[in-house]
Structure 1
Amino acid sequence: MSGAGIRADLFADPRLAGRLERLAQLDTEPLLDAIGAEVESQTRRRIAVDKASPAGVPWPEWSADYATTRHSGQSLLQGVGHLLDSITHQVDGNSVLIGSPLVYAATHQFGDDERGIEQRQFLGLEGDDLDDVVGLVEDYLEQMTND
């Protein structure tokens, strides 16, 4: 995937590390697919509704010059919806990749000092969104150990 993406390192969270070790003996593809779908949905919400980073920091507004080029109904990171529509996930071994294949997705995610484009981070996993993923893992583990 070119553009911008994140690889969710779920072992970095101590709440998940031990649980994931138990999952190592199980088929985790369905769980990873569910996590990918959840984070994909969270990312779409962030672009369409929240207009803030995963940490809840509001994105900087458009520059005054750029704002004059926008049409009615367009908002930050949402012109005609190409970025929003391009958010996908794919399971890759023991991890899941969530992002966009669009080259300009990286420009928004990281900013571009040379072109004067401020960072508007839309990919990430923090706070309530991370808690939701932890819940998915806990539910999956409970289901697998009760079967």
Structure 2
Amino acid sequence: MAGSNISIDAGDANPIADVLDQIVQQGRNLKPAFSQVGEYLVESTQDRFQLELAPDGSLWDPLAPETIKRKNGDTRILRQSSTLVDTILYDASDDMLLVGSNMEYAATHQFGREADGITAREWLGLTTGPWDDEAFILDILSDHLLS
């Protein structure tokens, strides 16, 4: 190769090879890291529920006047019985993390249902802005892979 270069030999007894091997080994057992991420995302999602915020930091659309009337003046959004927020769970394995709720109406509130006049109020997702879920998740994974 013309010019200037550096050669790194990642053979045996090389610190770089040792770190790469460690990352590969830790990457085969991601369940502990995914469990930690799951715990964090459940809590983060529940915190946003209390603030009635979408993951992008925007406020959920307010309730329609007829909905407030039906709820006897209760203006809390998606928390009449707190069932949805209380059923946010995670399931972690070595190669997958699922976070969400098994309630039938969870998707309806996440995406809305135009035919029934139900506004989408996105409650599930990675938070941006002041609470940066992605940065926290990357820290967890980095700590796991390099521990």
Superposition TM-score tier, normalisation by shorter sequence: 0.7 to 0.9
**Counterpart mapping for 1:84-99 below 5 A:** 84-99=85-100
- Offset of residue 142 of structure 1: 2.9
| Closer/same/farther in 2, CA of residues 75 and 43 from structure 1, 3 Å limit | same
**Structure 1 equivalent of residue 110 of structure 2:** 109
Match in the other structure for 2:143 = 139
Q: Which consecutive segments of 4 or more residues in structure 1 shift more than 6 A?
A: none
Q: Counterpart amino acid of 2:53?
A: A
Q: CA deviation at 1:97?
A: 0.4
- List alignment gaps of at least 5 residues for structure 1: 1-20
- Quick one: which amino acid aligns to residue 134 of structure 1? L
Q: Percent identity?
A: 26
Residue 46 of structure 2 corresponds to 44
Contact residue 35 and residue 133 of structure 1 kept, 8 A: yes
Separation in structure 2 between the aligned mates of residue 139 and residue 77 of structure 1, nearest angstrom: 35
Structure (1/2) with the larger helix percentage: 1
- Checking the alignment, whether the CA contact within 8 Å between 2:29 and 2:94 is kept in structure 1 is no
Indicate the structure (1 or 2) with the bigger Cα radius of gyration. Answer: 2
Q: In the alignment, is the contact (CA less than 8 A) between 1:53 and 1:122 conserved in 2?
A: yes
- Alpha-carbon contact 2:30-2:93 (below 8 Å) kept: no
Mapping of residues 73-92 of structure 1, within 5 Å: 75-92=76-93
Structure 2 residue matching 1:134: 3-state secondary structure: helix
CA 22–126 in structure 1, closer or farther in 2 if over 3 Å, else same: farther
Higher relative strand content:
1
Instruction: Give secondary structure in 2 for the equivalent of 1:114.
Output: helix
CA contact (8 A) 1:74 1:80 kept: no
Change (3 A) 1:103 1:23: farther
Instruction: Please state whether the residue corresponding to 1:76 is helix, strand or coil.
Output: coil
- With over 3 angstroms needed to count, the CA separation of the structure-2 counterparts of 1:25 and 1:44, relative to structure 1, is closer
CA RMSD in angstroms, aligned pairs only: 1.9
Per-residue CA deviation, residues 66-103 of structure 1 (Å, 9 max, x unaligned), is 11122466611101210111100001451100000101
The 1:23–1:37 alpha-carbon spacing in structure 2 relative to 1, beyond 3 Å, is farther
Tell which deviates more after alignment, 96-105 or 70-79.
Answer: 70-79
The secondary structure found in structure 1 opposite 2:114 is coil
